[in-house]
Amino acid sequence: MFGSSVALQTASLGVEGEGIWLALGTILMLLGMGYFMQQGWGVTDPRQKEFYIITILIPGIAAASYLSMFFGFGLTQVELVTGRVVDVYWARYADWLFTTPLLLLDIALLADADWRDIGALVGLDAFMIVTGLGATLMKIPTARFAFWTISTVAMLFLLYFLVATVGASAKETSEEAQSTFRVLQWIIVISWSVYPVAWLVGTEGLNLVGLYGETLLFMILDVLAKVGFGFVLLRSRAVVGEGDAPTPSAEAEAAD
Ligand SMILES: *C/C=C(C)/C=C/C=C(C)/C=C/C1=C(C)CCCC1(C)C
């Protein structure tokens, strides 16, 4: 009895009290998912449906991952050769392996990118996440930083490819789609670039901010990169279409 209540307490608060951010992350992802579902309810247009399904799945997967981390499920310890023990929430890598390709699929579909370019984007992305997981699980510090560097270089290629190649396809779409693409592109470029920094200052790297600070940082980034991204995408007239978006005149009529 006593043992299980201690276990539960440890699980819900986490190692350094970071459980609070995992709980908040779960709630924000669920709210985002619920909002997108409510918006997409009854949509019948196949292209619109595709965007809704992908964009609802993203915070949905993240919510499941956050909830499992909150219960201490995705937590493991890596003992380095130096003797330092690193607490790692590996569940986030499982989340990212699915959610980052879905985010890229969303923006690539908006840009009308061809499947070869989407394949290159997703391939680079999977390589970035897997080598990032490698960096996280290695026992030799030099190997950890080597893998971190490989993963970060892959990310820089990915971001360049997104802006240059996928951006070029976006230029052939409607004015509305182009402006949405630009906003989403910046959300990705800015928020994704902070992830390797968060890893570096967190427990996996130099441990400057502790597990508590790192969990907070990743939670803010995840909410911005998933819910913030979805919010911009699903408000765009390029996605929801002229007829369905709340146009200023329709809003004015409703107010009358
Ligand atoms: C919703 C989740 C998102 C958008 C996650 C993005 C994650 C990254 C861009 C992670 C990048 C990393 C590196 C570039 C270096 C090694 C460590 C990682 C995996 C944090």
Nearest ligand 1 atom to the CA of 133 is 19
Interval 45-99: pLDDT, tens? 999 999 999 999 999 999 999 999 999 888 899 999 999 999 999 999 999 999 9
> Residues 90, 133: contact at Cβ < 8 Å?
yes
Interval 136-192: pLDDT, tens? 999 999 999 999 999 999 999 999 999 999 999 999 999 999 999 999 999 999 999
Residue 117 CA to ligand 1 center (angstroms) comes to 20
User: CA-CA distance, 40 to 58, in Å (whole number)?
Assistant: 14
User: CA-CA distance, 205 to 47, in Å (whole number)?
Assistant: 42
Residue 112 CA to ligand 1 center (angstroms) comes to 25
pLDDT of residue 3 exceeding 80, the answer is no
pLDDT of residue 249 exceeding 90, the answer is no
Mutation test residue for ligand 1: of 96, 152, 161, the one with most atoms within 8 Å of CB: 96
pLDDT for 224 = 98
pLDDT for 7 = 53
250: confidence class by pLDDT, cuts 50, 70, 90 = very low
Considering the segment(s) 2-243 as one domain, its CATH architecture is Up-down Bundle (1.20)
Q: Confirm or reject: Cβ of 187 under 6 Å from ligand 1.
A: no
pLDDT for 10 = 54
Mean pLDDT of 199-211: 94
> Residues 92, 65: contact at Cβ < 8 Å?
yes
Mean pLDDT of 209-214: 94
Quote the radius of gyration of the chain (alpha carbons, Å).
20
pLDDT for 241 = 76
> Which value, to the nearest 10 degrees, does the dihedral of the CA atoms of residues 98, 107, 134, 150 take?
170
Mean pLDDT of 28-43: 96
**Counting beta carbons within 10 angstroms of the beta carbon of residue 2, is it exposed (0 to 12), middle (13 to 18) or buried (19 or more)?**
exposed
Q: Confirm or reject: Cβ of 56 under 6 Å from ligand 1.
A: no
31: confidence class by pLDDT, cuts 50, 70, 90 = very high
- Find where tokens 């502790």 sit: 210
6: confidence class by pLDDT, cuts 50, 70, 90 = low
